[in-house]
Amino acid sequence: MAGPKFRVAICGGGIGGLTLALTLARYPDISVTIYEAAKDFTEIGAGIGLWPRALSVFQNLGLRDDIVNLAGGLDPNAPAHVFHYRKSDQPDGASFYDLVTPGGLLRLHRAAVQQLLLARLPSSCSAHTSKRLLSYTQHPSSVFLRFTDGSTASCDLLVGADGLHSAVRVGLVHELRVRGVVGSEQVAEPRWSGEVAYRALIPMENIRKRYPGHRCLTTPTQFLGRDNYILAYPISNGTLLNFVAFTTRPEREGTKFDGAWMAVAGGHCDDWKKPYEGWDTEVQQLFDCAPPPMRWAIHTAPQLPTWVSGRVTILGDAAHAMTPHEGSGAGQAIEDAYLLGTLLGHPHATRTTLPAALAAYDRVRRPFAESVQRKSRENGRLFTCRRHDLHGADVDEGVLRDLGERIRVNWKWAWETSVDGDVGRAVEMFERA
């Protein structure tokens, strides 16, 4: 029996890495091994959103119905109410916009999506836990991997789906420096966005008992205000409210965050409420119901001139970790994985042509993901009312309508563009190489 045409090692068993493995599983002549750093396949975080672009990937992989069922069986083809917007940094909040889009936004629990993808992995895909990559070395015929437990492995192609603290990205940037592609000023380390998110999961039953008419029982809502905003929407088939309170310090963007990047708020959990004193009654009611939150210092990945070095590449947060204000971090990882996997499964893809396949992936996916990364940053500015004419309680209705329309325009790519179109362009580039 002939061996595989090449061996792919995926560092990272999150949603991006698993989507790549499932895409490659359609091509039995490719060997796939997943190396997950944690002792179990677990996801950190709660809610994620999937726009129509990302959902189309799961449709192509035969998982659309499973994903839709996780989201509560919503119809992703019908126009849907995505978010209700209120200006809430005042005692009497003011509703000003409803975002309704084709297909809407599927809201899911991150861990549930990961477990679904894990369950669909074929037995031919080898998966290992407690395998944290330390470093790699590229040789003419293979890529040599070293893990922190002292073990080693080799592959023909290494894909870093290893998240914000990506060891693969660190190695890739080092190689780019050695080759003179980037200078010494190019960093591989994440940068603090100047933002902190406090995240809590509130049982819907708690809200229903204490505040039976609360808006968030039925309506995904964003409560906006100067320098801060709150995101609240149901997940887990409507049994939990994903509640996220963002505080921002724009002047600290790019500086070092003091303290743990992720921690339970603990004994000082009331500190997260202070920026919201004097806000809308609906906001105070949610704080009344919320358990102690997790605190996340939001960091982003530095933009690079390329995601490729030889037969090594990166995807997802390893490539473009972004602020969460587009609801698109997971979706962009899914798109990366599907486009890359489709190129690797192309009949032209061999050990010899892998660099050309990676070049097509980089040329199509990197600019697009970076544009979403920038739009997410801009949405954060819109949600925290940085414009001077949004300050105070007596804001002109026309100004608020304009804010709503700017938010919509910043998201139009999610339903007006196509993953399949991008895949077609990348395949054409590869075939012409």
pLDDT digits (tens, 9 = 90+) for 330-380: 999 999 999 999 999 999 999 999 999 999 999 999 999 999 999 999 999
Percent of the chain with pLDDT over 90: 78
- Under DSSP, the state recorded for 388 is G
Residue 44 pLDDT: 64
**Tokens representing 334?**
């899914």
C-alpha–C-alpha distance, residues 262 and 90, integer Å: 30
The span from the CA of 20 to the CA of 40, in Å, is 19
Q: DSSP string covering 64-84, please?
A: HHHHHHHTTS--TTSEEEEEE
- Statement: residue 104 has pLDDT above 80: yes
Give this prediction's pTM. Answer: 0.94
Q: In the sheet where 228-235 sits, what is the strand order?
A: 94-102, 79-87, 221-225, 228-235, 240-248, 191-203, 294-300, 262-264
CA-angle at 135, arms to 132 and 137, nearest 5°: 140
CA atoms within 13 A on the CB side of 211: 19
Q: What residue ranges of the chain are covered by domains with CATH 3.30.9.30? A: 191-300
Judge residue 1's burial from the number of C-beta atoms within 10 Å of its C-beta, 0-12 exposed, 13-18 middle, 19 or more buried.
Answer: exposed
pLDDT at 77: 66
What value does the CA radius of gyration of the chain take, rounded to a whole number of Å?
A: 22
Nearest Cα to Cα of residue 52 among 36, 42, 67 = 67
At 142, list the tokens.
């293979």
Hey, what long-range contacts does 276-281 have (CB within 8 A, 24 or more apart)?
A: 276/225, 276/228, 276/230, 276/245, 278/89, 278/90, 278/91, 279/88, 279/89, 279/90, 279/91, 279/93, 279/223, 279/225, 280/86, 280/88, 280/89, 280/90, 280/91, 280/92, 280/93, 280/223, 281/91, 281/93
State the number of CA atoms in the 13 A half-sphere of 131 facing the CB. 20
Helix (H) or strand (E) segment spanning residue 119:
helix 110-120
Q: How much is the mean pLDDT over the chain? A: 92
Backbone angles phi, psi at 147, to 5 degrees: -110, 160
Residue 53 pLDDT = 93
Cα distance between residue 70 and residue 67, in whole Å: 5
* Residue 75: per-residue pLDDT: 66
Split at pLDDT 50, 70, 90, the class of 76 is low
DSSP 268: G
Structure-token pair, residue 19:
């989507």
Token couple for 175 = 């190689």
Ranges in the chain annotated CATH 3.50.50.60? 6-78+107-189+301-388+418-432
Q: Cα dihedral sign for 283, 287, 289, 290? A: positive
Question: How far, in Å, CA of 136 to CA of 422, rounded?
Answer: 30
Among 134-148, 235-249, 301-315, 419-433, where is mean pLDDT lowest? 235-249
Q: Which CATH architecture has domain 191-300?
A: 2-Layer Sandwich (3.30)
Q: Summarize pLDDT for 17-69 with one digit per residue, the tens.
A: 999 999 999 999 999 999 999 998 876 666 788 999 999 999 999 999 999 98
Q: What is the CATH code of the structural domain delimited by 6-78+107-189+301-388+418-432?
A: 3.50.50.60
Classify strands 221-225 and 152-155 as parallel, antiparallel or unpaired: unpaired
CA–CA separation, 35 and 126 (whole Å): 9
